[in-house]
Amino acid sequence: MTTMTETASGLREFKMPDVGEGLTEAEILKWYVQPGDTVTDGQVVCEVETAKAAVELPIPYDGVVHELRFPEGTTVDVGQVIIAVDVGGGAAPVTPAAPAAQAEAPAPSQAPTVTAPTAPATAPAVPAAPSGEAGGTTAEPEPEGRKPVLVGYGVSVASTKRRPRRGVPAQQPEVAAAAAAVNSELNGHAAPAVPTARPLAKPPVRKLAKDLGVDLAAVTPSGPDGIITREDVHAAVAPAPASVQEPVVTAAPAAAAPVSAPAAAAIAAPAVSYDGVRETRVPVKGVRKAIAAAMVGSAFTAPHVTEFVTVDVTRTMKLVEELKRSDEYGMQGLRVNPLLLIAKALLVAIKRHPDVNASWDEANQEIVRKHYVNLGIAAATPRGLIVPNIKDAHAKTLPQLAEALGELVGTAREGRTSPAAMQGGTVTITNVGVFGVDTGTPILNPGESAILAVGSIKLQPWVHKGKVKPRQVTTLALSFDHRVVDGELGSKVLADVAAVLEQPKRLITWG
């Protein structure tokens, strides 16, 4: 897919590229240029965040920025034009359009028109001008977004028509009106429109209405196609709050009118599902959106089994300190910590039990066994959890593994992990011990069959050589996909990891 087009006026339009495998959208985090700025081929013009990482986008030609099509914070589909550059020097720069939320906001002088009881003459002043008209140009219709294809979503309105019911005679208008008026008084609601047929409701809702003594003919439906919902029935039973509070509002003194009017509006307003004062709603997008989709897909697709083992890692901790101090092992200038030796222990266990390094292919009904290990390391970043991986970790020596691990962690903390670094993982380690947690039940990274959780390392009483002594102890947890890994195989892998950490000399004999 091409990422740029050229217009007749000498403007080149740069489109949002696909910066990762299969990504469909990205959020513009920051613009580094403004209309009128001169740009050169290869210059970074903006930073975008995809579902996998934050990426800087360079412009592929020289020219002057003519227009920025989207403000910062906007999520843009791949293939949409995000910036126009004048390569001929003829067009005047365009001031960036204000966000749609600002364009739709009414002027201060219009505020009373919205909240007042209103006369019909003021009604046309309420709608705000479309965002496209704020800049003095005609708004173009937005292209249709991707339609969801999940069951129960994306159905057109025309396809939800109900077949007319047979054998239900229509009520006489006079009888229906009288019945509606009586029931509305009993239920504490205004009389609904006169029904001409049997009210639409599902059997459970009809039973609920019968149990509560509510006549469905007097209930105002809120569901699609006029269907009465359970909430409608409960609303018919509950007393109307406005009628209870109305005497309090009307009896307020004139001096308190400015205070009582908003109070009355708040009382009469329908209840919301959250407290806007004590709660904050954060849009789900970017990395967080990808995490949610991946975790839900993994948790409800792969049958998870988690096993635990508590192990004495005192010798491993001594080896870590020795590697830090000595210059004999080629570890000078490298980051040496317990995670390094835990990663090496897991690689040794996979070498001894290679069948754990596999994935499930649902489409072909096959188990795919990997003859390489791309070791994922779960990393917490300001933008959320990411899992970059060390490519071909099985072939690396301990110094090479330490170097790769240091680069991976440093890049993740800076928010510069590339999408390629998060693709193709085969097994993952998550170190929850850094947060002081003993252990956990980790969820598999999609496409993998095993993940090892490492708890905090604490000084605890431990039986060592027949005596109770203070030892460095931790708890390991291994989650695996039971479609791929049987209990015996998972247990052996976890036991081998624990054995290496308890006696690091096994790295020589087993590795």
Active site residues: 482
Q: Are 358 and 365 in contact (CB under 8 A)?
A: no
Can you tell me the distance from the alpha carbon of 427 to that of 219, in angstroms, rounded to the nearest whole number?
56
Six-digit token string for 72: 């910062």
Six-digit token string for 106: 């009414």
Six-digit token string for 59: 């412009």
For residue 364, what are the CA distances in angstroms to 349, 367, 408? 28, 9, 33
For residue 391, what are the CA distances in angstroms to 236, 377, 424? 62, 11, 8
Q: What is the dihedral of CA 282, 287, 293, 296, to 10 degrees?
A: -80
Can you tell me the distance from the alpha carbon of 346 to that of 427, in angstroms, rounded to the nearest whole number?
9
Can you tell me the distance from the alpha carbon of 173 to that of 170, in angstroms, rounded to the nearest whole number?
9
Q: Vertex 356, ends 354 and 358: CA angle to 5°? A: 95
Cβ count within 10 A of residue 91: 17
Six-digit token string for 461: 């009483």
Q: Which long-range contacts (CB under 8 A, 24 or more apart) does 258-262 make?
A: none
DSSP output for 270-329: PPPSS-TTT-------HHHHHHHHHHHHHHTTS-EEEEEEEEE-HHHHHHHHHHHH-SSS
Would residue 475 be called left, alpha or beta, if left means φ above 0 and alpha means ψ between -120 and 50 degrees?
Answer: beta
Cβ count within 10 A of residue 179: 17
Q: Are 394 and 404 in contact (CB under 8 A)?
A: no
Side-chain half-sphere CA neighbours of 288 within 13 A: 7
